[in-house]
Structures are given as structure tokens and as C-alpha cells.
Structure 1
Amino acid sequence: MSIVEFYVWGGFEFMNTLSLVGIIMIVFMVFRIMKINNKVFNPEKSLMLMKETGTLALVIGILGQLIGLFSAMIAIEAAGGVPLALLAGGIKVSMITTIYGFIIFLISRIAGIIINATAKPE
């Protein structure tokens, strides 16, 4: 199973949104690491925004799973029941957005720990 298949199974709406949030998180990370200091971002604000976008990715991933499960439950209710294997497969697919959001969250938190640990006092 390839990464592209997971991306497609996760649903383009949430996977694209999570990818965009992940890219924004990386931009804030680069701003902080390079200590880019301008009128809009300073290094401390970039670090805080990097962590917050990671948290946002986690929340979006969970929201994607909940919406997917809710839609599945509506379909199951309309069908009057489904085989257990089909239900397990649906739950597995619904977890893709949560896993993707959690990975982005972990990257932001680990990067924050490393940046704080290696920061030189100014």
C-alpha cells in the first residue's frame, strides 16, 4: 500500500487541508530556525505559531475522522446493518486523517523541543 493510496483514502478535503497546515507549520519552523525577524514574525512568535499549527493539524485530523464515522453510521443505519469486516475496514480508513494530523502534531512538538533545547540565551 502506497502513501498516495492512503492520501486518496483519507479524502482530499481533509488530507489537502492537513498538508497545507503542515506546510505552514514548516514555514514557521524555518522562520524560527533561521531567526528571521521582521515586522510580522519574530523568532518567539514563529515558535509559538509552529506549535499551534501542529495542534490545529491534530484537531483537523480528529474532525475528519469524526465526520467520516458519522457519515458511515448514517449509511449503516440506512442499509440496516453491514458485515463486521466492512465496518472494520471503514473504521480503518477513517483513522487515516487522524494519523496524518497526529504525525504533523508530533513533528511540531519534537521540533519545538529541539529548538528550545538548542536555543542560545540572547
Structure 2
Amino acid sequence: MIDLFFIGGPLFMGILTIILVAMVSLACYIAIQKKKDGENPPADSWVKELGILGLVIGIFGQFIGLYQAFSAIEEMGSVSQSMLAGGLKVSSITSIYGLVIFILAIILTFGLNLTGRTR
């Protein structure tokens, strides 16, 4: 797992990890506030917004990686299909991580909304 972090590029993977930690911390804080006060804090939608931000930054990281790969291919002239496939695989790591963050945000938001409802 640590290998994927460094293969995907420490800059974008680091930013995505910071977003993930902030999102989970915010969800925990909101859950504690709901249990303590019994009301919905207005920060409920922030969890989903952080998830969307993670998804967008993941896709942006992939586009940056693809741009760099295509620039390298342009300089080299021609590359093998396996090298091209490897570059595409590496560039998609940040998008997959961003998508996982977004899915987790949806699950957390659903859980927070579910616990906030009265019966």
C-alpha cells in the first residue's frame, strides 16, 4: 500500500491523504456533536464536499500524470505498448484513490444522516 502511495506521486497522494484524514475527522466530530447535542450541525454536507474535492484532485492528478507521460513519449518518439500501458496504470492510481475517498464520503454522509433522524 505504501508502494502505491509513492508510485502514484507523493504530491497528489499526500494531498488526497490529507483530505481523507480531514474528512474522517470531520465525520467523527459531527457524530460526537450529534450524540452530545442531539441536533444536526450545519457541517453535515462538508463531508460530502471533501469527498468531491478528493475525487476532483484525483482526476486532476491523473491528467497531470498523463500529460507528463505523453510529453515523455513525444520526446522518445515511439514506445512499446507495455510501456504505454504501464504509464496509464500509474497515472490512474490517483483517480482510484480519489474515487475511494468519494465513496467513503458518501457512506459517511449516509451514516451521519441516518443517525440524525428521529423515529
Relative to the length of structure 1, the TM-score reads: 0.88
The answer for the alignment partner of 1:33 in structure 2 is 31
Instruction: Identify the structure with bigger relative contact order (alpha carbons < 8 Å, sequence gap 6+).
Output: 2
Within the candidate set 83, 90, 99, 2:87 is matched to 90
Unpaired runs of 5+ residues, structure 1, are 37-41
Pairing 1:29-108 to 2, within 5 Å after superposition? 29-35=27-33, 43-108=40-105
Range moving further from structure 2, 106-115 or 64-73: 106-115
Distance (whole Å) between structure 1 residues aligned to residue 73 and residue 23 of structure 2: 37
Shift of 1:43: 4.2
Shift of 1:113: 1.0
Within the candidate set 7, 18, 21, 1:20 is matched to 18
Distance (whole Å) between structure 2 residues aligned to residue 43 and residue 14 of structure 1: 33
Amino acid at match of 2:70: M
Shift of 1:47: 1.4
Kept after mapping to 1: 8 A contact 2:58/2:98: yes
Q: Tell me the number of residue pairs that the alignment of Structure 1 and Structure 2 aligns.
A: 115
Kept after mapping to 2: 8 A contact 1:31/1:46: no
Shift of 1:111: 1.0
Kept after mapping to 1: 8 A contact 2:27/2:112: no
Shift of 1:31: 1.6
Within the candidate set 6, 11, 30, 1:8 is matched to 6
Distance (whole Å) between structure 2 residues aligned to residue 72 and residue 59 of structure 1: 20
User: Identity of counterpart residues, as a percentage?
Assistant: 38
Shift of 1:119: 1.6
Unpaired runs of 5+ residues, structure 2, are none
Q: Which runs of 4+ in 1 moved over 6 A?
A: none
CA deviations over 1:34-87 (Å, ceiling 9, x no partner): 116xxxxx9433211111001000000000000000110011011111000000
